[in-house]
């Protein structure tokens, strides 16, 4: 069985918790959006959930240097508060399974790859599908 929900990712927040980890697979897929990150409106000038055409530089404080600026990124947070290195999500990404994680304390978070959240507006909506390993979406 596959459960899913639509989650809104605020362009002004660094991270939004979208699911708990555990022995299952989470697929994040773009649903729709109207967010303005880095003074670029979604869809204009090549900026959307996949990011702008330019890559984030190392020295400017982007959470994930080398990935497209303003793209959707993710990370894991464990029960001790340790956060993983961010990873690129873009339009979609399959995450998991996490067989050794406690589902009550292992979180998956998403946010924009942006070094200045104060000039952002709007949100991005993603579909979060949760399924058991080996089952089809």
Condensed to tens digits (0 to 9), the pLDDT of residues 27-48 reads 666 666 666 655 544 444 445 5
Selected residue with higher pLDDT from 5 and 87: 87
Mean pLDDT is lowest, of 5-9, 24-28, 92-96, for 24-28
Tell me if 83 is assigned to some domain.
yes
Q: Is residue 106 part of a domain?
A: yes
pLDDT, tens digit, 9 for 90 and up, residues 69-116 = 888 898 888 777 788 889 998 877 777 666 555 555 668 888 989 888
Does residue 123 fall inside a structural domain? Answer: yes
Q: Is the pLDDT of residue 12 over 60?
A: yes
Q: Which residue is associated with the tokens 């330019």?
A: 54
In-domain check, residue 102: yes
CATH of the domain at 61: 2.60.120.430
Q: Is 69 domain-assigned?
A: yes
Q: Which of 59-63, 99-103, 126-130 has the lowest mean pLDDT?
A: 99-103
55 falls within a domain: yes
The domain in which residue 77 lies consists of: 3-131
Q: What is the pLDDT of residue 24?
A: 58
Q: How many separate domains does the chain show?
A: 1
* Cα–Cα distance for residue pair 56/35, rounded to 1 Å: 18
Burial of 111: CB neighbours in 10 Å, binned 0-12, 13-18, 19+: buried
| Residue 137 included in any domain | no
Token look-up 């697929």 returns 27
CB 43 within 8 A of CB 50: no
Q: 15 or 54, which is more confident? A: 15
Bigger pLDDT: 53 vs 109: 109
pTM over 0.85: no
Sign of CA dihedral 25, 29, 34, 37: positive
- Is 136 inside any structural domain? no
Give the pLDDT confidence score for residue 14 in this predicted structure: 93
């Amino acid at each position: 069985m596959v459960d899913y929900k639509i989650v809104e990712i605020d362009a002004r927040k660094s991270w939004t918790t979208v699911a708990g980890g555990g022995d299952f697979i989470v697929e994040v897929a773009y649903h729709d959006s109207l967010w303005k990150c880095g003074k670029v409106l979604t869809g204009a000038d090549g900026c959307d959930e996949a990011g702008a055409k330019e890559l984030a530089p190392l020295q400017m404080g982007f959470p994930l240097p080398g990935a497209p600026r303003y793209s959707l990124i993710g990370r894991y947070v464990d029960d001790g508060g340790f956060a993983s290195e961010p990873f690129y999500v873009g339009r979609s990404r399959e995450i998991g399974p996490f067989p050794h994680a406690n589902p009550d304390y292992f979180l998956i978070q998403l946010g924009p790859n942006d070094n200045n959240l104060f000039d952002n507006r709007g949100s991005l909506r993603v579909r979060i599908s949760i399924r058991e390993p080996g089952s089809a979406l």
